[in-house]
């Protein structure tokens, strides 16, 4: 399923990206706790480079409950994100901001996806964000619910043959497929 050509994306749009399972490989039953465990998914850096020519803002929103569980620290996460951003910049792409939720599920915070807190923080910092002109690309139902809670278009990133969840507007196998679709369909 590809994005609807009736939607006209231009540089006034914002792209929200989940991190684990979308930009980098998700670790089975574990957390990416240090840079040596961070592995970009094939095509994700190139996708972000393409997105950088399309979207006004690119925002990463990521649940990082490993901090709340005391498996990693804020500094560990900062090192991982600096590593990720450096690689993306070196390839000609950019990410405007990374927002993360460090809380454990039991803390009932308002920033953990699917709650809208990280999106609201992004809008507060970047006043030009219009959620009706925003897309969230994520690999989980909580990512899609986050987007729907804010009125975004939702893209389910999943390489399986499973059916598209009802809450998803679109399903693509990876971030690169989304980038190519946006470039070929919308421009």
pLDDT score recorded for residue 185: 58
Q: Which domains does the chain have, with CATH numbers?
A: 14-186 (3.40.50.1000)
pLDDT in tens, 83-141: 999 999 999 999 999 999 999 988 889 999 999 999 999 999 999 999 999 999 999 99
Average pLDDT over residues 147-152: 97
User: 76 pairs with which residues across the strands?
Assistant: none
Place of tokens 């609201």: 120
Please give the pLDDT value at position 4.
Answer: 54
Query: For 34-75, what is each residue's pLDDT tens digit?
Result: 999 999 999 999 999 999 999 999 999 999 999 999 999 999
pLDDT digits (tens, 9 = 90+) for 10-43: 889 999 999 999 999 999 889 999 999 999 999 9
DSSP codes, 16-80: EE--BTTTBPPPTTS---SGGG--BPTTHHHHHHHHTTT-SEEEEEEE-HHHHTTSS-HHHHHHH
Query: So which residues are the catalytic ones?
Result: 18, 20
Look at residue 9 in the predicted model and tell me its pLDDT. 84
Half-sphere exposure of 82 (CA within 13 A, CB side): 7
Predicted confidence at residue 1, as pLDDT, reads 40
User: Residue 186's pLDDT is what?
Assistant: 55
């Amino acid at each position: 399923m590809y994005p609807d050509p009736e939607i006209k994306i231009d540089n006034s749009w914002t792209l929200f990206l989940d991190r684990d399972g979308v930009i980098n490989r998700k670790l089975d039953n574990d957390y990416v706790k240090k840079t040596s465990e961070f592995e970009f998914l094939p095509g994700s850096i190139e996708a972000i480079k393409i997105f950088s020519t399309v979207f006004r803002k690119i925002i990463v929103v990521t649940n990082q409950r490993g901090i709340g569980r005391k498996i990693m620290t804020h500094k560990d996460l900062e090192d991982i994100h600096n590593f990720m951003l450096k690689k993306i910049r070196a390839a000609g792409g950019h990410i405007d901001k990374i927002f993360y939720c460090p809380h454990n599920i039991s803390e009932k915070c308002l920033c953990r996806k699917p709650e809208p807190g990280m999106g609201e923080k992004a809008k507060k910092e970047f006043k030009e964000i219009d959620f009706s002109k925003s897309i969230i690309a994520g690999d989980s139902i909580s990512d899609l619910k986050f987007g729907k809670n804010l009125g975004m278009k939702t893209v389910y990133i999943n390489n399986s043959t499973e059916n598209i969840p009802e809450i998803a507007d679109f399903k693509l196998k990876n971030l690169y497929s989304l980038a190519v679709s946006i470039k070929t369909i919308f421009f």
